[in-house]
Structure 1
Amino acid sequence: MRKYILLALLSSASVSLAASVQDANTLLDKGNWQAAAQMGVDLGSAEGLAVAAKATTLGAGISPDTAKRGLLEKAQGYANQAIKLNSNSAAAYFELARADGRLAQFVGILQSLPLASEVKNSLNKAISLDPKMDEAYVALGVWNAELVAKGSFIAFSYGAGGDQVAPNFEKAFAIAPTTIIHRVEYANALLKLDSNKNKAAAIAQLKKAVTFTPVTYWDKLDLKAAQDKLASLQ
């Protein structure tokens, strides 16, 4: 009897944890990133901390510049905590890469270069743990485009290549063909590689993006970004 009671309690705890992580994601989908982050932290699990890292990174994107660095560093901390709790969490590695990548974009070329290898390593680890993680392929495509845009010497030094951009995005599209931000990121990556040569291809991606239906608060922001970018190119 005790065995069955223990199994029932463990099952109940598992369901409760899943529901709580789902609740945190629901808050995040609605744009309540601060509440989502706090809920993730309160869970104290790798899954919860990965949500906290994601929420904080997304929140940094819509916060004043004066707050961005602090928030991104906080997101790095959450992701690192998640990895310590579960070294096989693809989400934790991806969120570390996302926070590192956003911080690299914010701090400038000299301070961002030390993060370049860390971002790539975390993305490769996330993909090895979850080969169907579309966001990781997008991020890897962006990583290659940004390093190439910084110059051939830097790209060579870190193993980046323009020929790795499209293949990574195509993998993401095969998994999530109607995700708005994926098309926006691809358009931006194409323009980074060669704004003149790739303008038509970038416009084509943005035209696809604006036909997709936004589901979350963040999707709506991405749709607006796609519309604005498309208008600026036409």
Structure 2
Amino acid sequence: MTLALAVAVTAVAQSQQAAQSLYDQGKWQEAATAAAALNTSAGFALAAEATTAGAGLSADAQKKPLFEKAQGYARQAIALDKNNADAYFELARAQGRLAQYSGILNSLNLAGDMKKNLDQAIRLRPNMAGAYVALGLWHANLVSKGGAATFLTGAKKAQIVPNFEKAIALEPNVAVHRIEYANALLLQGNKAGAAAQLQKAVSLPADTFWEKRDLEAAKAQLAKLQ
């Protein structure tokens, strides 16, 4: 590697870290802009993550366009690197959120695509805890709808718990995994199990803007269940 190339690589890495820092502070719009400007696969994947997260803070009318924008970023990340597991995961995550704001038929199509992208993320990185959480939620949400949703997508109740347990075994100290597990258990009517997961979640450290937000949501949810 030439000195000039080494300097360029270092600059990109530092810029990615700067964008990540903005995201961790909750400055999702600035983070997405900075990350996308890098024109790298990792940058576009981070831009997708930031945009999807930011949609959660935005007015309802803005959510669907933001989830669509996040999908666009994720697809750009895949176009630049077909082996970027994060890119497939972020595409799946944006599709899952978008499905909540789509008609039944379109949401089932998105569910199918989401599953394919999660499977691809796991093929590329078998220890990606977040992908197992998303798979657990995928099964939980579709099973809770019942009927055509489970028949057309192949979602199974028996796949919910194993996916969450796998994620927690990989990353036991990540609160959001347990919070999403609690959400999945609530969809199954298991309030006691959900409360147990939330109890563990609120005992874990929260450093970033998003982790602190998750912690407050977990505390509120736990209070309702007790």
Q: For residue 19 of structure 1, what is the aligned residue in structure 2?
A: 14
Q: For residue 228 of structure 1, what is the aligned residue in structure 2?
A: 220
- Alpha-carbon distance in structure 2 between the residues aligned to 1:18 and 1:94: 21
Q: Is the 8 A contact 2:92 2:117 kept in 1?
A: yes
Q: For residue 200 of structure 2, what is the aligned residue in structure 1?
A: 208
Q: For residue 174 of structure 2, what is the aligned residue in structure 1?
A: 179
- Alpha-carbon distance in structure 2 between the residues aligned to 1:219 and 1:138: 16
- Alpha-carbon distance in structure 2 between the residues aligned to 1:132 and 1:22: 22
Residues 42-81 of structure 1: CA distance to partner in whole angstroms, max 9, x if unpaired? 1011110001000000000111101101111000000011
Give the one of 81, 85, 89 matched to 1:86: 81
Matches for 1:9-158 after TM superposition, within 5 Å: 9-158=4-153
Letter in 2 for 1:36: A
Q: Quote how far apart the aligned CAs of 1:232 are.
A: 1.1
Aligned length: 226
Across the aligned residues of Structure 1 and Structure 2, the Cα RMSD in angstroms comes to 1.1
Residues 137-182 of structure 1: CA distance to partner in whole angstroms, max 9, x if unpaired? 1000000001101104421321111111111111111111111111
Q: Which moved more, 1:6-15 or 1:34-43?
A: 6-15
Q: Which runs of 5+ in 2 are unaligned?
A: none
- Alpha-carbon distance in structure 2 between the residues aligned to 1:17 and 1:170: 36
Q: Quote how far apart the aligned CAs of 1:108 are.
A: 4.9
Kindly indicate whether residue 157 of structure 2 is the aligned counterpart of residue 170 of structure 1: no
How many percent identity over aligned positions?
A: 54
Q: Is the 8 A contact 2:108 2:153 kept in 1?
A: no
- Alpha-carbon distance in structure 2 between the residues aligned to 1:175 and 1:136: 11
Q: Is the 8 A contact 2:178 2:198 kept in 1?
A: yes
Q: Quote how far apart the aligned CAs of 1:20 are.
A: 1.1
Residues 89-138 of structure 1: CA distance to partner in whole angstroms, max 9, x if unpaired? 00100000010011112335343111011000000100111111111110
Equivalent position SS for 2:58: coil
- Alpha-carbon distance in structure 2 between the residues aligned to 1:227 and 1:107: 30
- Alpha-carbon distance in structure 1 between the residues aligned to 2:202 and 2:151: 35
- Alpha-carbon distance in structure 2 between the residues aligned to 1:201 and 1:107: 30
Equivalent position SS for 1:107: coil
Residues 170-195 of structure 1: CA distance to partner in whole angstroms, max 9, x if unpaired? 111111111111111001101112x1
- Alpha-carbon distance in structure 2 between the residues aligned to 1:119 and 1:210: 29
Letter in 1 for 2:214: D
Structure whose alpha-carbon radius of gyration is higher:
1
- Alpha-carbon distance in structure 2 between the residues aligned to 1:108 and 1:205: 32
Q: Which runs of 5+ in 1 are unaligned?
A: 1-5
- Alpha-carbon distance in structure 1 between the residues aligned to 2:148 and 2:28: 39
